[in-house]
Amino acid sequence: MAATLGNVVADEGVVFDAQVLKARGIDPQLAQYFRLAPRFEQGLRRVTLEVNGVAEGRIHATFNEHGELCVDSSLLASAGIHAPERTLEAQDIGACLSFTQAFPEAVVRLLPGREEVALRVPTHALLSPVPMQRSFSNGGSAGLLNYDALLVSREFNGQSSQYRNFNTEVGLNGGDWLVRSRQSYSAYEGVRRAEHLYAYAEHTWEKQQTRMQFGQLTLAAPLLAGGAFTGVQLLPETALSTLTNEGIGSNTVVEGVAYSPARVEVRQNGVVIYATLVPSGPFTLSGLPLLSLNLDLDVTVHEDGGSQHQFTVPSATLRRGSNAGPTGYTLAAGQVRRFGSDDRETPLFAAATRSWQWGASTHLSAALMGAGQYQAVGWGLQQALTDRTTISAQHVFSSTAAVQLRGSQLQASISTAINRRLSAGLTASQQTEGFRTLTDTAWNEKRKAPESRASQQLSASVNGSLDKLGTLGAVVSRNATVNGRAQSRLGLSWSSSAFKDTHFSLRLEKSLGASVQHSPGTAAFASLSFTLGPRRSLSHYARHDRVNGLRTGAQLSEQVDDTLGYTIGVDRAAAGQSDMNGRLSLLPRYTSVDLGYSHSGAGATGYDAAMRGGLAIHSNGITPSPYPLRDTFGLVKIGEDAGIKLRTPQGPVWTDSAGRAVAASLPAYRTGRIEIDTASLPRSIDVLNGYQEVEAGRGSVQAFDFSVISARRVLLMARRADGRPVTQGVGVYDDDQRYLTTVVDTGKIFLIDARPEMQLRLTLPDGASCRLNVSLAQKSESSVLFETAESVCEEA
């Protein structure tokens, strides 16, 4: 049996009829081995605990010599159960009181094969719910180095240009603290720019559900757009208050259109926070590493031909996809930090915000900031009017005494699901000319106000579903700056999968008032895609814009396996010129690589290469990862073999030559699962438990040690001294009388972990016993599924 049910089964064995077993050719001694269910070994064990269907995390539990769960104060505290008096008495004298003795009405389900304990306890035995009743796995230490490199090269008419971007992040986790430092370097047409983005330390106090950061930070206070500063910050730990792991920007979506294979840069507060390459056509960027939800995004699309176009994503739309936010205090104090050649003043400041959740539908927030000659105060409200409609508003007032300016910023939004098929959203922002944020407090008149500083923003969207006819969407936005210049965007989209393995999409976009040269004006993009298999697709498309005219093309994409994917495309202009492009995505186990090539009919040739990944630096060496390492990660050990594949929350990884791998990202305070792909195990290796789960604390470094056994599989042909094969059904034991297996067929014994010169004992049907000497080579043949050998069973 795989499970043991407390006082129902744990103490009861199964009684076999020895005569019936013997009559059927089965060794009666096997009955003693199989009469008892699987059990935990005696002593202290680390297990996953579940109480009345609720996961309580990983704990240490004690088991007695019979494999029964012992009750102690640590177990009861983790499970949230009242402690009976006799439990404390038993603990004082060092005795083991089994759980079923302490709680006769409870049901204990033990799963030793999965290292799990499930308790079903009467509700009157449970403690009153209190915050942070769950037990999380903390501790561990390791350093890290993340890298992200991008190289884009273009040649035309004997001239060449290159764009290089290289980002690194170094860090250290230890004692549930984490330290991070991020740097960025870019070079284009002789202009080089190196920036140090931030360096900070962070720790989470789990009982208080609070995170503390100090160093070079970005203000995370609701309502206040403070930008970068050097100082200290206290903020609610959202992952604990909601038990989710959605970081800032996790729900943010940026949509646009590229009119050729292009490079997209996303800036916030003047800093490049994200850069990527996209194919021609509509693109969607999600999960951006935002610095703040209160700062606009400036998106620049660098087209293949050298042209570029820009648009702004209002900060109000960043919050539309976000949750109402955590409750509690956010406190920050420090000094404003500038980047690059920005020589404006860096005033000291202090800020405080407070958020409340009133009932199930109202979220309130208030904020206050002071910085010498600058003060700001604000409020925010998010209200669920119905189960389908939500409104939000925030109003911030600022006063800058040095230049005698006062102003305000008002933002409001409404989103609603009109019915099952139709939803709509509207966001608006009004900023008066006298309004200043913290980073504008010492405005330099020589620099003038940047054109992208908007005073009015408006965005509206409608999305609908027409069943088999597909989905429709429309979005319109308008941004107006203080100098009167305005830019508007209108987008319409339709997509349909009415036919099996076929997908059609159409997108129209119009830009008005754009100040950037080579504005595409009105653009249209249509595509028709066919699924050619589980991992292969073919698409045909046509696009038209004012700059490039009409172009058509086709693209073949395939994800061959976990380590290889490719895309091949051909693009043709109305004038007859054809462009070719291809992209290769590689995951060579220990890094991620993207390679691209393009050639235009005009003679321009382009190359690009990107590489990203991370290194975990720990007490046993350095382990590479094909993914960047995040706040919380894990170190995995599986034997000593390379190339063993694991499934992690971030994606597949493989062990190195030391049998080590990195789980680059584990969800903080949620269940993270690591699982071995058993098909990748060497044939001479067996794993005792193919997966492990953990609820990791933020900043911890989890250790996953998978126990493996040498599985030298041998099919032994056993004969008696007179040459007759050993009878089927006879039990096979080792020198210590431990049962190993049974003679599966006449004379055939299959051993899953054979050793050279091992000795076996067989009890024959006539009551006699004999011994087998297994003669094997010292080293196994790993290329075969099992070895074969012969042996004579000599009477003992």
How confident is the model over 314-361, as pLDDT tens digits? 776 665 444 456 788 999 999 988 887 777 788 899 999 999 888 778
Point out the least confidently predicted range of 182-196, 501-515, 600-614, 619-633: 501-515
Point out the least confidently predicted range of 96-105, 187-196, 229-238, 780-789: 780-789
pLDDT at 426: 95
Query: Who has greater pLDDT, 778 or 791?
Result: 791
How confident is the model over 598-628, as pLDDT tens digits? 998 888 899 999 999 999 999 999 999 999 9
Contact 408, 375 (CB under 8 A): no
- Is the pLDDT score of 16 beyond 80? no
Strands in 437-577 per DSSP E: 454-465, 471-481, 486-496, 502-512, 522-531, 536-545, 549-561, 564-573
- Is the pLDDT score of 119 beyond 80? yes
pLDDT at 208: 87
How confident is the model over 742-760, as pLDDT tens digits? 888 888 999 877 888 888 9
Mean predicted confidence (pLDDT) in 362-375: 91
Point out the least confidently predicted range of 80-84, 130-134, 139-143, 474-478: 130-134
Point out the least confidently predicted range of 68-82, 284-298, 545-559, 701-715: 284-298
pLDDT at 441: 62
- Is the pLDDT score of 294 beyond 90? no
pLDDT at 6: 40
- Is the pLDDT score of 244 beyond 90? no
Strongest mean pLDDT among 21-30, 653-662, 716-725: 653-662
- Is the pLDDT score of 368 beyond 90? yes
Domains of the chain and CATH, by start: 4-125 (3.10.20.410), 714-795 (2.60.40.2070)
Please state, in angstroms and rounded to a whole number, the distance separating the CA atoms of residues 607 and 597. 5
Mean predicted confidence (pLDDT) in 558-575: 91
The distance of Cα 202 from the centroid of its chain, to the nearest Å, equals 20
Give me the percent of the chain exceeding a pLDDT of 70. Answer: 85
* Buried/exposed 600-623: b ≥16 CB within 10 Å, e otherwise: beeebebebebbbbbbbebeeeeb
- Is the pLDDT score of 21 beyond 70? no
pLDDT at 11: 42
How confident is the model over 402-456, as pLDDT tens digits? 777 888 999 999 999 888 889 999 999 998 888 888 877 655 555 554 444 557 8
Contact 234, 354 (CB under 8 A): no
Is the Cα dihedral 106, 107, 109, 110 positive or negative?
A: positive
- Is the pLDDT score of 493 beyond 60? yes
Identify the band that residue 145 occupies on the pLDDT scale cut at 50, 70 and 90: very high
Please state, in angstroms and rounded to a whole number, the distance separating the CA atoms of residues 24 and 80. 51
Please state, in angstroms and rounded to a whole number, the distance separating the CA atoms of residues 583 and 567. 5
Please state, in angstroms and rounded to a whole number, the distance separating the CA atoms of residues 505 and 598. 25
DSSP 602: T
Identify the band that residue 29 occupies on the pLDDT scale cut at 50, 70 and 90: low
What's the mean per-residue pLDDT of the chain? 83
How confident is the model over 577-589, as pLDDT tens digits? 888 999 999 999 9
How confident is the model over 204-217, as pLDDT tens digits? 998 888 999 999 99
Point out the least confidently predicted range of 416-430, 713-727, 775-789: 775-789
- Is the pLDDT score of 35 beyond 70? no
pLDDT at 452: 42
Identify the band that residue 1 occupies on the pLDDT scale cut at 50, 70 and 90: very low
| Burial classification of residue 139, based on how many CB atoms lie within 10 Å of its CB (0-12 exposed, 13-18 middle, 19 or more buried) | middle
pLDDT at 690: 80
- Is the pLDDT score of 87 beyond 70? no
- Is the pLDDT score of 643 beyond 50? yes
Mean predicted confidence (pLDDT) in 731-746: 83
Contact 633, 669 (CB under 8 A): no
- Is the pLDDT score of 13 beyond 70? no
Q: Order the strands of the 714-720 sheet from edge to edge.
A: 739-742, 731-733, 758-763, 769-774, 787-795, 714-720, 748-751
Mean predicted confidence (pLDDT) in 261-265: 80
- Is the pLDDT score of 467 beyond 80? no
- Is the pLDDT score of 248 beyond 80? no
Mean predicted confidence (pLDDT) in 14-29: 64
Give me the percent of the chain exceeding a pLDDT of 90. Answer: 33
pLDDT at 247: 44
pLDDT at 427: 94
Please state, in angstroms and rounded to a whole number, the distance separating the CA atoms of residues 487 and 481. 9
pLDDT at 448: 52
How confident is the model over 513-561, as pLDDT tens digits? 755 455 667 889 999 999 988 889 999 999 888 877 888 999 999 999 9
Classify the phi-psi angles of 532: left when phi > 0, otherwise alpha if psi is within -120 to 50, otherwise beta.
Answer: alpha
